[in-house]
Amino acid sequence: MKNSLTYNVFFALAITCCFSTATAQYSTKSNTVADRQIERKMEHYRILKDQGYTDQEIFEDLGNANFLNENYTAASFWYGQLKESKKGEPLSKSYQKRYDFALKKSNQTADTASLESNDWLAEVKSDYQIKKATVETFLDRPISERYRELDFQSSNGSFVVDDQKVAEQGLKSIIGDDIDKNHPYKMPVAVTPDGNTAFFSKTVSEKPLYGIFSKKEQVHKIFRAERVNGKWANIEEVAAAPSHSSAKHPAISADGRRLFFASNMPGSFGEFDIYVSEILSDGSLGVAKNLGKKVNTEKNDLYPNVVGNKTLFFASEGRRGYGGLDVYMTQVDNRKVDLAMNLGSEINSDDDDFAIAFTSQSGKAYVMSNRGKNKGGVERIAFTYADQEEPSYDKNEYKLMEALNSESQIRYTSSMFEDE
């Protein structure tokens, strides 16, 4: 694993990508939708101000968050506020450089000073590393104040990761050994908490939608099996996606009520998106809901893995990450979803990183990756983490969370389908 700064700081920096954005000056008089949205952003600013954060802290963090999220108009607004707050004093070299770049990208100036494309993420991380020793901003405060904390660290010593217990016995002949050559990691069977129902995906052949004499096409389908007298039986396909669409990589929430999976069904933003369906009392699935653009991209989003009831890990190749597939994390409630966050260089590499698997031993887990000498093969790379209980929030704490994530109330989209 790679050594880098303590993951808390980077993880907190990733959290800021959820922050609200603003694109104009203060206005409370107009009744237009745009002005009402601006006023709401200013209300979030006032909430943070009431929490004791200084203008400099707020302007720096909101500027950096929007800059890294490529919202350059909003970034230039907040950097401009930061510059005004300096009262004639110049911005630091790194902040001025990002401010100039944001202005250029948002077509607000023709100035060409220091506009070359850099490793902006590394520069922002460097700013916070320097600041951490001197000034504490709310980016340096514990993530546990508002989110479940997973403090990923490289293991100093070696340890053996216990093989994850899966329920493939009795299903191997049915699932088969077919491996996707583009994404070779094979997901384990998803089993409900009571151990009596399993979901898995396999490749099947279907006649194409068009072309009577065309060859059959290969698609992925999700199947359900029931444990009867200690053996798997009553195996049947579940309608996770419509005909001629694929559904694969099923994962079940800890309460056994929701099934997450990847699908390329109509309505997807990219090639494969992450969806969630309710598992009904009869074992069938409810309407598939697309997790939306906070999670899904124009490329592949795959390998969902649920920890608890709402912490979702998945792999994506549609964001600017470290290379290939990177592992991301988000929180998915019943009616809302948070912006997905890259888990950083402690977990991801410049190769494909498919999934995280947690062991029964607290604090130890591994990432499935094709990094290393065996290119094309999947290896398990062990790491340790610090796990803290998810805190409860009072009203004021929730307001702070809402201010830091202005889109937290946006519902994720529903994708309805009718299968003939």
Q: What pLDDT, on the 0 to 100 scale, is given for residue 297?
A: 93
pLDDT at 135 over 70: no
Q: What pLDDT, on the 0 to 100 scale, is given for residue 137?
A: 38
Residue 117 located in a structural domain: yes
Between CA 393 and CA 336 the distance in angstroms is 17
Between CA 408 and CA 394 the distance in angstroms is 17
pLDDT tens for 254-296 read 999 999 999 999 999 989 999 999 999 988 999 999 999 889 9
Residue 101 located in a structural domain: yes
Of the two residues 249 and 46, the one the predictor is more confident about is: 249
Residues 91, 227 within the same domain: no
Give me the CATH number covering residue 187. 2.120.10
Query: Is the distance from CB of 239 to CB of 254 less than 8 angstroms?
Result: no
Residues 121, 189 within the same domain: no
Both structure tokens of 411: 């519902």
Of 170, 225, 239, the closest CA to residue 197 belongs to: 225
Domain boundary among 99, 118, 141: 141
Which pTM does this prediction carry? Answer: 0.59
Residue 416 located in a structural domain: no
Residues 210, 115 within the same domain: no
Interval 238-255 mean pLDDT = 93
Q: What pLDDT, on the 0 to 100 scale, is given for residue 419?
A: 34
| CA atoms within 13 Å, Cβ hemisphere of 286 | 13
Query: Is the distance from CB of 381 to CB of 357 less than 8 angstroms?
Result: no
Domain boundary among 95, 124, 141: 141
Q: What are the Cα distances from residue 40, in Å, to 109, 188, 322, 404?
A: 28, 45, 34, 12
Both structure tokens of 241: 């996606």
Both structure tokens of 126: 């460097």
Both structure tokens of 323: 């290379």
Query: Which of the 8 DSSP states describes residue 31?
Result: -
Residue 146 located in a structural domain: no
Residues 185, 112 within the same domain: no
Q: Which residue has the tokens 């491996």?
A: 179
Between CA 276 and CA 414 the distance in angstroms is 10
Note down the domain range covering 298.
172-404
Of the two residues 208 and 36, the one the predictor is more confident about is: 208
Residue 166 located in a structural domain: no
Query: Which of the 8 DSSP states describes residue 332?
Result: B
pLDDT tens for 305-315 read 998 888 899 99
Q: What pLDDT, on the 0 to 100 scale, is given for residue 140?
A: 37
Query: Is the distance from CB of 152 to CB of 385 less than 8 angstroms?
Result: yes
Both structure tokens of 318: 């549609």
Residue 92 located in a structural domain: yes
